[in-house]
Structure 1
Amino acid sequence: AEMGYNVIAADIYGKGIRPQPPEAGKTAGKYKGDRVLYRERLTAALELLKADERTDQSKVAAIGYCFGGTGVLELARAGAEIDGVVSFHGGLDTQKGMEAGKGKVSSKILVLHGAVDPYVPAEQVAAFEKEMNEAGADYQFVSYSGAVHSFTHKEAGDDPAKGAAYNEAADRRSWAAMKAFFAEIFK
């Protein structure tokens, strides 16, 4: 919103459901295990945003962090008609049979990834890139050295050995990358 865009925060879980660790992982797992349901919830939020008269229909994108980063990639895989998606330290995998089909991905994709994120191993990165290449997707993949999961969240602490930690350089650079991506796709 600070950048002048109309925004919406998708409520995937439902009214009053705000899981905290360790329940948060289980609750998110419901949607990670049922990508059809996850996509339905994401699409409903996107349609609500697009229906808002304040939304510039020529400039629609989705961004997400962690679970939300996984979600915006699901929107892209599903062929959502938006200009672009930006995933900050999101999971890159999808369910079998839910992969992006050839020519189905219409939005541009920017993935901002912690190079040593233990939750998104090299095999997942390789599988994602293979999937996007086979789909003919227009994507960029930026990997930040030394960054683990949750690199944009100060609340994650500063111990990368825990698998999730704030990384000031990756946070700053990823935000700049998103702004540059928007400048490109919203010409």
Structure 2
Amino acid sequence: MASGIKTREINYSTLDGKQFTGYFAAPESTAPVAGVIVSPEWWGRNEYTEQRARELAEHGYAAFAIDMYGDKNVTTDAKQAYAWMMQTFEDPDTIVTRASAGLATLAAQEEVNADKLAAIGFCYGGKVILDLARSGAPLEAVVTFHANLSPKAPAQKGQIQAEILVLHGEDDSMVSLDDVDAFREEMHAAEVSHEVIIFENAKHGFSNPQADERAKANAVDLGYSAEAEKQGLIAMYELLDRRLGQ
């Protein structure tokens, strides 16, 4: 564990000039460390995402919570979150373009060893990093929590460099077990090293302590599970530590 961490916001842009603001956290270290991008739920780059970045820094990684909507836009309203998310689906290249810009920004920081990169993502953010991995991004590991697993286009052999860990709730009504099976088939066909862990009695959003509150406010089927969150984070760090050599 790091003895102390530092944080800062970083402005960055895509080639079309759209502006984004990410949140960077890193251990107080004299040597560059492995870097991890953190891709947020459809709510945007909020405090929860920043918390996960700080936790990664405390564990010894440099972490960058990326901004997928631009201008640091966040919401607690599901209709607004859905609208923003769907805007990123209008052009099939938007998600990978924005995620790639975030990954490049992370890799460019002086605290980061650009040869050791990984990505984690939650819900919509899980789809973001899976599509980033499918694009051939230089990632050692990818970890998703209650993610949309559907690809823009199925991965082909040799495309995905990362080892992938999918953490899924058995009672997730938004991403079915059939969707999980289809993902497994995609990974097997592309010969990608992967693991899927399915948590009993866990719903969509299981990793976020605010999931129950958001479910009630928006009439959506989310639910927090402290046990699934705990076991998911243990599995995540086991993979990151093994692949990134921490």
TM-score, reference length from structure 2? 0.71
**AA matched with 1:134:** A
5+ residue gaps, structure 2: 1-56
Q: What do residues 118-163 of structure 1 show as CA deviations (whole Å, max 9, x unaligned)?
A: 1101221111111111111111111101101000111111889952
CA RMSD of aligned residues (A): 1.9
Distance, in Å, in 1 between the alignment partners of 2:132 and 2:194 is 14
* Equivalent in the alignment of 2:181: 126
Distance, in Å, in 2 between the alignment partners of 1:142 and 1:165 is 17
* Equivalent in the alignment of 2:155: 100
> How many residues of Structure 1 are paired with residues of Structure 2 in the alignment?
185
The partner residue of 1:114 within 169, 184, 187 is: 169
* Equivalent in the alignment of 2:195: 140
2:68 aligns to what SS in structure 1? coil
**AA matched with 1:167:** S
Q: Shift of the alpha carbon at 1:2?
A: 1.6
Distance, in Å, in 1 between the alignment partners of 2:104 and 2:197 is 29
| Identity score, percent | 33
User: Is it true that 1:13 corresponds to 2:76 in the alignment?
Assistant: no
2:167 aligns to what SS in structure 1? strand
1:58–1:186 Cα contact (<8 Å) kept: no
Distance, in Å, in 2 between the alignment partners of 1:7 and 1:35 is 26
User: Is it true that 1:38 corresponds to 2:95 in the alignment?
Assistant: yes
Higher relative strand content: 2
Distance, in Å, in 2 between the alignment partners of 1:34 and 1:11 is 17
* Equivalent in the alignment of 2:123: 66
Distance, in Å, in 1 between the alignment partners of 2:178 and 2:149 is 10
**AA matched with 1:100:** A
Q: Shift of the alpha carbon at 1:26?
A: 1.6
* Equivalent in the alignment of 1:167: 225
Distance, in Å, in 2 between the alignment partners of 1:61 and 1:94 is 19
* Equivalent in the alignment of 2:204: 149
Q: Which moved more, 1:56-65 or 1:146-155?
A: 56-65
Q: Shift of the alpha carbon at 1:170?
A: 0.1
TM-score, reference length from structure 1? 0.92
5+ residue gaps, structure 1: none
